[in-house]
Amino acid sequence: MPHDAQVPTPGRRQRGVSRIERPGVAVDVAVLTAKGGTLRALLVTRTTKPYKGQLALAGGLIRLDESLDAAALRVLSTKAGLQHVYLEQLYTFGRPGRDPRMRVIAVAYVALVHSGLAEACRAAGACWLRVRVPWQGEVGGPVDILDDDGRKVQLAFDHADVLGMAVKRIRGKLNYTPIGFQLLAEQFTLRELQDVHETILGVDVNKDSFRRRMLTSGDLEATGERENDVDHRPAELYRFTRRSAI
């Protein structure tokens, strides 16, 4: 139940510090994946007020003894059943009124997961909806979320803005870091990697240049194996040489 108040705790008084009216602090995680040429975000249906019944990012109030990163990892694990995925702090949203019931500061994170892990999330009650980015490049702004019939869906809170910021960040990062690997299985072909880049960037990239850039970057190594079960010449499989995970 993200953004919800919890029942009052006994309230261990902090030494020398009186308790005053303070905002709640939450983490919200924008989990993205790329499947079939479309960008998808992980969303959960809210079961409590406010925005009860609407879709929202996975989120929750932080605990007093856990770090922000730990809170984001906990939310990922408990709300989406996800572990060992790429995770990075994104931006902090704090507009008064973004939560209609109380002041909540939301530290947003972005996570990237391989589309093969999507089923595990469905089991946890989450769904993956299509993200349509109504701006080009790194302009920024909220995104549109579409259901399976292509209709626009209204998200809770300012979560469409959070997802917009997430796409903007990932697009920017793609230019100078090998972040696209995070959306693929351990072994992948150059074509799959290019598809991921094009899905995130929202534009086609030059194939020749892309291949050259990837192969000379030093971030890839050939596995010697080839894909199979394709009805054309199979491509070489590569692996990321510095696979990092939190």
Partner DNA sequence: GAAATAGTGTCTTTAAGACAGTATGTG
Partner DNA sequence: CACATACTGTCTTAAAGACACTATTTC
Which does residue 189 bind out of its own copies, DNA, none, counting CB within 5 to 8 angstroms by kind? Answer: DNA
Residues 6+ apart with CB under 8 A from 111: 29, 30, 31, 32, 72, 76, 82, 85, 86, 87, 88
Question: Using CB under 7 A, which residues numbered 96 to 115 contact DNA?
Answer: none
To its own copies, the closest distance from the beta carbon of 67 in angstroms equals 5
CA distance 123 to 111: 18
242 interacts with its own copies by CB under 8 A: no
Kindly state the number of chain residues that form the binding site for its own copies, as judged by CB under 8 A: 36
Which does residue 146 bind out of DNA, its own copies, none, counting CB within 5 to 8 angstroms by kind? Answer: none
Question: Using CB under 7 A, which residues numbered 196 to 225 contact DNA?
Answer: 205-206, 208-213
Residue 228, beta-bridge partner list = none
Q: Which of 56, 75, 107, 117 binds its own copies (CB under 8 A)?
A: 107
Q: Does 2 sit behind a cis peptide bond, omega within 30 degrees of 0 on the bond before it? A: no
- Which pair of tokens denotes residue 130? 């299509």
Residue 86: CB atoms within 10 A of its CB come to 19
Angle, vertex CA 12, rays to CA 8 and CA 17, nearest 5:
110
Question: Using CB under 8 A, which residues numbered 82 to 101 contact its own copies?
Answer: 89, 91-92, 94-96, 101
Site of interaction with its own copies (CB under 8 A): 5-9, 11-12, 14-25, 62, 64-68, 89, 91-92, 94-96, 101-103, 105, 107
Site of interaction with DNA (CB under 7 A): 189-191, 205-206, 208-213, 226, 228, 230-236
